[in-house]
Structure 1
Amino acid sequence: MTAIRVLSYNVRYASRDDHHDAWHDRRDAVGRLVRFHRPDVAAFQEPLPEQRSDLRERLPGYEFVGRGRNPGGDGEGCPIAVRTDRWKVVDDDTFWLSETPAEPSSDWDAAHPRIATWARVRVAPDDGDDARTDGGNPRQELLVVNTHFDHVSARARRESARLLRERLPKLADGATGESNPPLPVVLVGDFNCTSGSEPHRILLGDDPEADPKDPTGDDRLALHGAAENAVLRHGPKTSLTDFVHLIDGRRIDHALVSAGVDVEAFATLTDRDDRGRYPSDHLPILARLDV
């Protein structure tokens, strides 16, 4: 099996109203946090273009993929950063959480356009090795998906979950061909809902509006929560802060994995910066996985 460490982090957009928690006072701490924990994949939510540039500068060992949610590619994004010494990005794209996912759009009463960015990653070869095989065997590949659900509309969160349930199996199958098993999937992000809520249950395959006569049904992609299924769990049961205190009972940042992905450990990281403050209004989550 191949070990991979996946981090998900809502870094908060650069707001002029954050005063002493403005991005320029937080960006170094965010970069140091990621470099210290050294995830293989880091998925970020909310960064604006200038923030994405700052993250690239502070994480030179990572390849970034993804775009902003607005028509020109600006606006908030859900970029995925991949450690180039361990993994290679094979393919990537972004789609919108709407009824027209191939184009910039917003539906279901969402306050803002919402997106999901995905990357298909493969274990990087050693120098001189074949890029696709390891000793004649195919190199491990993985589909990583990063998203951010709407914070206002409950309907948008439900429909976004249903859209992901529909599209992820196609992405996992399309990468391998009909004769091969689908790629293992890791879905991370800020879902703006807690475990057990309706959107979270829909992602896990428990959709109260699903047609029981549909032969494709919810078996298209079996997902389970990394936090709930980890052998070792560490950190608080929330992922929200006010930069100084934890906000109890609000774990809205999640990692879900498909069948065949073992969750060795799941942590909610409480690192503070050198001022004693959290570098964001969200805590990052880190899953140690075997695929």
Structure 2
Amino acid sequence: MQITLMTFNLRVDVPNDLHNAWSFRADKVAETIIKHDPAIIGIQEGLYYMLTDLKERLSNYHWIGTGREGGNKGEFSAILYKREMITVVDEGQFWLSEHSNVPGSKSWGSDYPRVCTWGHFQFKIYPEKDFFIYNTHLDHISQEAREQGIRMIWGVIGTHQLKKRPFFLTGDLNATPENSVITYLKSKEKLVDAYSILEGEIGSTFHSFSGETEGHPIDYIFAAKEVQLHKTIVDRCKINGSFPSDHFPVILKASI
């Protein structure tokens, strides 16, 4: 069964961004999503009203996840899914802290609370085809928080893998490829980096609305080794003269 996934840091709404504030970009983000038509999207930095704005523009998508401050408060690392194609079997969210069930909790010098949202999905027309998605946004300040956070996520993946289902990890990991967070993931025999099938230099995925391509990625999609990877895209296109976010979305086409 073929599937298209996307990871997309939306850039939280900041009025000081002026013409790059969310009200000027909501249509552009929706247009980017429509262009690639992903079944699953892991987003980062989405406030509740940003998600509802997208819902108005993308009525065929629902989402799972809550704000990192609890409920609808704070940024979401939500997972959007095409409701006519996919159904949710189970879902959850945990905080990347020593108190993982406490909304708004943080540890290890993290500048903000950080979460991982996960979902167990199945295709409606092929219910025997099911899979897990884990989506996160690691801390941008504390390396210890990044390292501890990714180990927590891997531990949860391990408990779910008693069911031996295909899985994907999406997110803004705030780590370039040489960082121990990424080398830790690449050391796992069960994981494949979606960039492994991208020809040439990957380039930067964070560009601060400049479109800069020099540098290294911090946005990633990893897949279970059983997943067949077909194509990875870093979309660097402007829409009507400007970028939809300060991050380039990353898209993976695969089969499970």
TM-score (norm 2): 0.94
Is the contact between residue 211 and residue 236 of structure 2 (CA under 8 Å) also seen in structure 1? no
Deviation at 1:204, TM superposition (A): 2.8
Letter in 1 for 2:243: Y
Give me the CA root mean square deviation: 1.6
Show CA shifts across 1:8-53 (max 9, x none).
1000000121011110000100001101110011111001111111
Larger radius of gyration: 1
Q: Say whether residues 1:20 and 2:19 are aligned partners.
A: yes
Partner of 1:249: 215
Q: Determine what percentage of the aligned residue pairs are the same residue.
A: 29
Cα shift readout 1:215-254 (whole Å, capped 9, x = no counterpart): xxx66xx2121111x2x54885220112133152131000
Give the match for residue 32 of structure 1. 31
Where do 4+ consecutive residues of structure 1 move more than 3 Å? 232-236
Alignment partner of 1:223 out of 191, 215, 223:
191
Moved more, 44-53 or 241-250: 241-250
Q: Which residue identity is paired with 2:14?
A: S
Partner of 2:120: 120
Q: Which amino acid aligns with 1:122?
A: Q
1:191 aligns with 2:173: yes
The alpha carbon displacement at 1:171 in A equals: 2.2
Residues 232-281 of structure 1 deviation map (CA, whole Å, 9 limit, x = unaligned): 5488522011213315213100001112011111110012121x211111
Tell me the amino acid that sits aligned with residue 199 of structure 1. V
Unaligned runs of 5+ in 1: 126-133, 177-181, 206-217
Aligned length: 255
Per-residue CA distance 1:87-125 (angstroms, 9 max, x = gap) = 111111111111121222100100000001111110113
- The 5-angstrom pairing of residues 134-149 of structure 1 reads 134=126, 139-149=128-138
On the 8 A contact 1:84/1:124 being kept in 2, the answer is: no
Aligned to 1:260: 226
Q: Is there any run of 5+ residues in structure 2 with no aligned partner, and where?
A: none
For residue 74 of structure 1, report the CA deviation from its aligned partner: 1.1
TM-score norm. by structure 1 comes to 0.83
Is 1:269 matched up with 2:228?
Answer: no
Distance in 1 separating the partners of 2:182 and 2:210 = 28
